[in-house]
Amino acid sequence: MQPHRVSLVTITILIVSVNVHAGPFLTGVIEDAGAQTIEMPNFPGAWQSRIEWMAAEGSRVNKGDIVIRLDPGSLLDQEERTQADYQRKRFEVQRRTAELALAVLDAKTAVLKAESELKLATLDASIPATASRQLDYDRAQLRLTTANQTLTRRRSELASKKREELNTLKVLKLEEERMYDQWQSMVNALEGTQLKAEKSGILIYAENRFTGRKIFPGETYNNATLLAWVASHADTSFRFWVHEADVLKIKPGDRLAVVPDALPDHKVEAEVSRASQQATTRDEWSQGGYFELLAKPIDPLPDTFIPGMAVMGRPQ
């Protein structure tokens, strides 16, 4: 019986020893550190928007391609309304500009007439009293005084009309510019419902951080929600999630064997570069917290390793 007991103890010790030294399996994804991130835009008067269409996940896109199209919702009505408001204001500015210009022209004409009257009155008043009847002389002097007063008043009216023209047009122009800006913001918002690739690469759908499920067309998301990435092989790396129970077993500098889920016969080596200091929950996996772990491939990844692919990692 004694040899039998020794064998069981030995086997148990061996199993425990293997479990102690074997590192945890890590679940992760291939990602491009220089990928273009696509977020839900912040549209005027809206805190969330619905995705109408997305290019197929994993499809190759070129710079300038539309990759996500959003439901414009009320933006079309707002664009039409703000455009109509701007056009009405523009016509009002044109009408008032013409009216004010005509008022200034009339005031200038009145000044010219007053200046002409003053010249004639000055000539009549220059005739000496001894060369005309006293009554005519007095009338000429009165006419000269009146002409001077009229010219002063007409010049004051002209200056007032010019100030009115300047101040009124300044206010109207500011109102026109404000309404134009409002219209253009609606135009830009409509254009912003078509999200484009800013680089060539592969489209990868993001995860909804509240549900853990992939972002999907037809669903509604809040502003600033991460919707997708456009990634390439320019700066690929691995992002893993490690359970809080295992996080102390892995540290920066450790080597990992990485295998894509879709390519179980393809293995590459990577080195852990950074570990997060704060855990996040992944309720779709299990209870407890998960820490993010970043790892860089030792050698350039083959083209079969596409950003967005799920991978498994195991310490070497």
CB neighbour list of residue 166: distance below 8 Å, 6 or more residues apart: none
CATH architecture of 76-191: Orthogonal Bundle (1.10)
Residue 48 is predicted with a pLDDT of 93
pLDDT of residue 213: 87
pLDDT of residue 156: 97
Measured CA to CA in angstroms, residue 202 lies from 2, 235, 258 at distances of 64, 13, 21
Boundaries of every domain in the chain: 19-65+195-315, 76-191
Q: Which two tokens stand for residue 67?
A: 């990759």
The pTM of this model reads 0.62
pLDDT of residue 207: 87
> How many other CB atoms are there within 10 angstroms of residue 177's CB atom?
12
Task: Give the C-alpha separation, 102 to 41, whole Å.
Answer: 48
Query: What residues of the chain score a pLDDT lower than 70?
Result: 1-23, 283-284
pLDDT at position 84? 97
- Specify which residues 242 forms β-bridges with: 291
| pLDDT (0 to 100) of residue 282 | 75
**pLDDT tens digit string along 134-176?**
888 889 999 999 999 999 999 999 999 999 999 999 999 999 9
Region of residue 46 (left: phi > 0; alpha: psi -120 to 50; beta: else)? beta
Domain topology for 19-65+195-315: Elongation Factor Tu (Ef-tu); domain 3 (2.40.30)
Calpha distance 215→221 (Å, rounded): 9
Separation CA 115–CA 44 (nearest Å): 58
Cα separations in angstroms, 280 against 55, 202, 207, 274? 30, 27, 14, 16
Cα 301 from Cα 33, distance rounded (Å): 14
Do the domains at 19-65+195-315 and 76-191 have one common CATH topology?
no
Contact of 266 with 239, CB cutoff 8 Å? no
- Residue closest to 27 by CA, chosen among 309, 284, 310: 310
pLDDT score for 23? 64
pLDDT, tens digit, 9 for 90 and up, residues 240-266 = 999 888 888 899 999 999 999 989 999
